[in-house]
Amino acid sequence: MSAAGAAVKPAPTTKGAVPFLVIPKEGEPYLAGSKCGKCGEVVAGSREVCGKCGARKTMQHVKLGTTGKLYNYTVVYRNFPGVPVPFISAIVDIDGGGTLKGNLLGVEPVPEKIKFDLPVNIVIRQVPQKDKDGNSYLAYFFEPRS
């Protein structure tokens, strides 16, 4: 008799924290987006229809840019237990198109220190925590560009 019920646990892997963080078999991880072949609109993630012009079957897979500018932010003071606060939740306009929401690192989380249009790098890092199956995750963050 086989070991029925004793499911084989897959080996832990590294995954993207969001579906559009692509980890290719070769080369560096990157953020993927869709670009409209009709109007040029760029969005993070995969799209079938352009949200700007409504065109269908024109969306092409693209790599999103790795730099951008701070559009807006909020300083988060309360969160789930175990999540260190305060931190900066930011909206960044990506150079080359698209917009992302994520955490801004490397800036003191006080409004006097946070400048709109701050040039940022969009970096991909390993998250320190693992899930219950031992999988580790890559996530993207924003850092001031010096």
User: How far, in Å, CA of 45 to CA of 26, rounded?
Assistant: 20
Residue ranges that bind Zn ion, judged by CB under 5 A: 36, 38-39, 41, 50, 52-53, 55
Q: Which is nearer to Zn ion, 34 or 140 (CB)?
A: 34
Residue 113 has φ and ψ, to the nearest 5°, of: -100, -5
Q: Which is nearer to Zn ion, 36 or 122 (CB)?
A: 36
Q: How far is the CB of 22 from Zn ion (least distance, A)?
A: 22
Q: Which is nearer to Zn ion, 25 or 57 (CB)?
A: 57
Q: Which is nearer to Zn ion, 36 or 114 (CB)?
A: 36
Strands 136-144 and 119-130: antiparallel
Q: How far is the CB of 48 from Zn ion (least distance, A)?
A: 12
| CB 91, CB 72: distance < 8 Å | yes
Whole-angstrom distance between the N-terminal and C-terminal Cα of the chain?
63
Place of tokens 């029925």: 4
Q: How far is the CB of 98 from Zn ion (least distance, A)?
A: 13
The first and second tokens of residue 100, run together, are 């992302």
Q: How far is the CB of 47 from Zn ion (least distance, A)?
A: 10
